[in-house]
Amino acid sequence: MSLRSGAEGVLQAPTVTIPSETIPTFEQLGLGPDLVEALGALGYEEPTPIQRAALPPLIAGKDLLGIAATGTGKTAAFSLPLLQRLGVPGKREPFSTSALVLVPTRELAMQVAEAIHRYGQKLGVSVLPLYGGQPIGQQLRVLKRGVDVVVATPGRALDHLKRQSLLLDTLRTVVLDEADEMLDMGFAEDLEAILEATPEERQTVLFSATMPRRLDALARRHLRDPARITIAKEQVQ
C-alpha cells in the first residue's frame, strides 16, 4: 500500500472505510442454522439493537428485564432464544408446555404465536395461542397432546392451570410481554398466581414499555439477577 502525494502536496493514505460499529450476524449472536435460515427466508438481514442486546444473555439462559416498545423487534428478541433453548422437540407430555408467553390481548396472542410459528417451523415446534372467548373444548383437545410453546392472555392461562389442563412442571421459560399493559388491565394477581405455579429454576423474561413501581416490585420478586436492556423507540435499526 503506497502513500501518494495529494494536490496540495500533503501525503494522503488510500481511503479505507472502517465501519464505526460492526453489526454482528444472528449466527454470531448464538443462533443455530435452522433459525438463521428461517430469518433469512423472512428477509431479516441483520439483528435490531434489542436483538443484539437480548440474544446472547437469553440464549445463555439468563433472566432479562427489557424496557422496549413495540416496533423494536422485541418479539423476535425473546422468541428466537426461547426456540433455540427448546432444541428439537422430543416427546410431549399431555397438557405440558416448555415455554409460556403471557400477553395482554387476544390480538397480541395471535400475532406472537404466528411469529413463533414462522421462526420455529423448521424445528417442528408446536405453538398454541390461548385467549378468552375461544371455545375451551377446542383448546383442551390441543393441550392434551402437549404443546411446546403456549402464548396466552393471563386470565385464560390461569383458567387452564386451575383445570389442570395446562401443566407447568416442565416449563423452561416464561415471558411477560407488554407487562405494564397486563398490570393496567388488572392482571396483577393472575400473573402472580401463574408465576407461583412455575418451577423455581425457570428462565424469566419481562418486556415492558414503561416500568411503573408495582412492575418493578413484581420484577424484583420473580426475576433472578436479570440482564437489563433499555431500547428507545426510535432506535429500531
Q: Which residues bind ligand AMP (CB under 6 A)?
A: 44, 47-48, 51, 70-76
What is the nearest approach in angstroms of ligand AMP to the Cβ of residue 234?
13
Q: Is 85 exposed, middle or buried (0-12, 13-18, 19+ CB in 10 A)?
A: middle
Q: Which three cell numbers stand for residue 191?
A: 400473573
What is the nearest approach in angstroms of ligand AMP to the Cβ of residue 86?
19
Nearer to ligand AMP, 51 or 96 (CB): 51
Distance CA 190, CA 62 (A): 24
Nearer to ligand AMP, 72 or 126 (CB): 72
CA angle 19, 54, 109 (to 5 degrees): 125
Nearer to ligand AMP, 71 or 124 (CB): 71
What is the nearest approach in angstroms of ligand AMP to the Cβ of residue 43?
7
- Could you tell me where the DSSP H helices lie in the chain? 33-41, 49-59, 74-86, 106-120, 136-144, 154-163, 179-184, 188-196, 213-222
Cβ contacts of 216 within 8 Å, gap of 6 or more: none
What is the nearest approach in angstroms of ligand AMP to the Cβ of residue 204?
19
What is the nearest approach in angstroms of ligand AMP to the Cβ of residue 219?
20
Distance CA 110, CA 152 (A): 9
Q: Which three cell numbers stand for residue 221?
A: 420478586
CA angle 151, 153, 155 (to 5 degrees): 135
Nearer to ligand AMP, 70 or 165 (CB): 70
Nearer to ligand AMP, 42 or 60 (CB): 42
Nearer to ligand AMP, 71 or 212 (CB): 71
What is the nearest approach in angstroms of ligand AMP to the Cβ of residue 44?
4
CA distances from 189 to 20, 148, 230 (A): 47, 25, 26
